[in-house]
Amino acid sequence: MMLNENVKRSFKKRLENGQPQLGTFVKINSPEMIELLGMAGLDFIIIDMEHTTLAFHQVEQMVRVADLHQMSTIIRLPDSSRSSILRALDLGATGIQVPQIEHVDEVKEIVDKSKYHPQGSRGLTFAHRAAKFGNTPSNYLEEENLATTIAVHIETVGAFENVEKICEVEGLDVVFIGPLDLSVSLELDANYLDGSLADPVMKIVDACRENNKIPGIAVSNEEQYKFAIKKGIPYIVWSSDVALFKQAIDSVIRLAKQN
């Protein structure tokens, strides 16, 4: 089973309608972990190739498992190369997320590499998973262009300074705020609720609203999650599988040491 174009497009539609979508970063190459996340009811996962050693053949199997649970899959790429973007989309992911961008031209190139002609220059073959290995519907190109979700990080000084122009790029869907990297880049504390990162975060959210882009943000606790809901940020990524597992283990160890 794989996510069809309509299911992929519905993920983007829910985001565009402002319906909160809850996900997490996945760093562990484990089908059982992905099944647990799907059974728990997450809307999507971001498979992390930036901060892990995951390879594309492993990612493809992870996407397959997520598809079985109708859980959307975004791949955070290690770079914005044509090869990385093509492989991620050809293996059938719902979309891509590109970190560490600096300039608007980078974003335009990412969109171009992600879209088929006439919207872009994505290489075409029907002998891959996204095109159902040749069992390809006649409207595949149009549907793939409509359904694919494209996200970029705002986490560098360059991206932050150019956020208004970045949000104007046609074909870009999600503008994701990486609070930790952004705080380091801007030399501010990482508290975006009431600390020095609060104003920069709202500047990014406002730029999204002015240009009909979908804002996204990383959260790690209930207060941050409620902030995202209150501010109308629908693309919400709660920690990672590693962090969630560590928190659970830490709570067990603390309890055990008390007895």
CA proximity to 162, closest of 140, 142, 185, 144: 185
Rounded CA separation 225/240 (Å): 14
Residues 6+ apart with CB under 8 A from 156: 100, 101, 102, 181, 182, 185
Contact predicate 150/75, CB 8 Å: no
Task: Give the Å distances, CA to CA, from 208 to 12, 165, 234.
Answer: 15, 10, 12
Tokens of 137: 């519907």
Q: Is 51 a catalytic residue?
A: yes
Q: Using CA atoms, how far apart are residues 235 and 146, in angstroms rounded to an integer?
A: 18
Give the bridge partners for 154, in sequence order: 177
Task: Give me the catalytic one of 51, 57, 69, 103.
Answer: 51
Dist. CA 242–CA 240, nearest whole Å? 5
Show which residues are catalytic.
Answer: 51
